[in-house]
């Protein structure tokens, strides 16, 4: 089973049980490299269906204060693109089988070399890439490399994306379509945007690709509510904030994710 097939299989399994896939985001190297390694392992144990790992970058345009803080900390810890590739490889050698997406910005990938990076990511055990500052229209070469190595290149849409462009982006995205819930940066929010569910229903009518929603999801209740209309729920800033405040960050991350997973499953049983 190649990387794309594994992603498809994962969404098929969660769909068969009537719930959305749970996809936590975590920054590699936060609060330090060994602790982040333990946290990712704990996320897999605690119910993550897929995992999104952040590559630290000095100018993370799509990220709010919480993830910006985590990436700056990771950079101070000396985390590089090569560190992130080794990180995934070590996870795989340690027995982690959960599908992994690397989320990073284009400049480090360009400097590393697109084809070289995609091949290295594939060999390390990555299933997909999420690059928020690379427009789909400018990703043809990277997409070709991803197809060669069976990696998913995931694209993003927002509530402001016109219908015709949503259709075009959905046709280009692989693995799933990342639906940004707000017209802004990442960050936990007390409530979801009032028109989000209407937007999600509209997008669902335009494409059959799995939809995963992120940016702003923080509580089990929000995750459960979204899980009724999308195929995947992505939680990042709230998880990192839990880790930041915890005396025992690994255990805290596991407990928080278990609560999200339980909420998704409870909604199925209702």
pLDDT of residue 62: 59
> Tens of pLDDT along 225-260?
999 999 999 999 999 999 999 999 999 999 999 999
**Active site residue: 5, 38, 45, 52, which one?**
52
Confidence of residue 188 (pLDDT cuts 50, 70, 90): very low
Say what the pLDDT of residue 184 is.
46
Q: How far is CA 151 from CA 6, 12, 31, 50, 155, in A?
A: 10, 18, 28, 14, 13
Residue 63: active-site member: yes
Q: Is the pLDDT of residue 111 over 80?
A: yes
The packing angle between helices 249-269 and 237-245, to 10°, is 140
**Angle formed at CA 61 by CA 158 and CA 188, multiple of 5 degrees:** 65
Average pLDDT over residues 55-76: 85
- Choose between 61 and 220: higher pLDDT: 220
Q: Please report where in the chains the tokens 């950079």 appear, as a residue.
A: 75
Please pick, among 63, 123, 140, 231, the residue that the annotation labels catalytic: 63
Top CATH class of 3-153+220-269 equals alpha beta
Give the pLDDT score at 65: 83
Residue 147 pLDDT exceeds 90: yes
pLDDT band at 189 (very low <50, low <70, confident <90, very high): very low
Q: Is 32 a catalytic residue?
A: no
In this prediction, residues 25-48 reach a mean pLDDT of: 98
* Residues 196-212, mean pLDDT to the nearest whole number: 95
């Amino acid at each position: 089973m190649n990387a794309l097939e594994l992603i498809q299989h994962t969404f098929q399994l969660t769909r068969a049980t009537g719930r959305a896939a749970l996809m936590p985001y975590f920054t590699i190297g936060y609060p330090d490299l060994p602790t982040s390694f333990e946290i990712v392992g704990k996320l897999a144990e605690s119910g993550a269906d897929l995992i999104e790992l952040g590559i630290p970058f000095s100018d993370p345009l799509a990220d709010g204060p919480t993830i910006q803080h985590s990436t700056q900390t990771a950079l101070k810890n000396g985390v590089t693109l090569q560190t992130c590739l080794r990180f995934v490889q070590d996870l795989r050698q340690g027995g982690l089988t959960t599908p992994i997406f690397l989320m990073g910005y284009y400049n480090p990938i360009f400097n590393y070399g697109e084809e070289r990076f995609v091949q290295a990511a594939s060999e390390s055990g990555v299933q997909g890439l999420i690059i928020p500052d690379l427009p789909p229209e400018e990703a043809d070469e990277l997409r070709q490399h991803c197809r060669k190595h069976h990696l998913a290149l995931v694209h993003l849409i927002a509530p402001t994306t016109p219908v015709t462009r949503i259709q075009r982006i959905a046709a280009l995205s692989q693995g799933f379509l990342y639906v940004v819930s707000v017209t802004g940066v990442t960050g936990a929010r007390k409530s979801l945007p009032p028109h989000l569910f209407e937007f999600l229903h509209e997008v669902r009518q335009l494409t059959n690709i799995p939809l995963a929603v992120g940016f702003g999801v923080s509580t089990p209740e929000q995750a459960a509510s979204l899980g009724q209309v999308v195929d995947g729920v992505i939680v990042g800033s709230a998880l990192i904030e839990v880790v930041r405040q915890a005396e025992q960050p690994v255990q805290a991350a596991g407990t928080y994710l278990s609560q999200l997973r339980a909420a998704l499953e409870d909604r199925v049983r209702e």
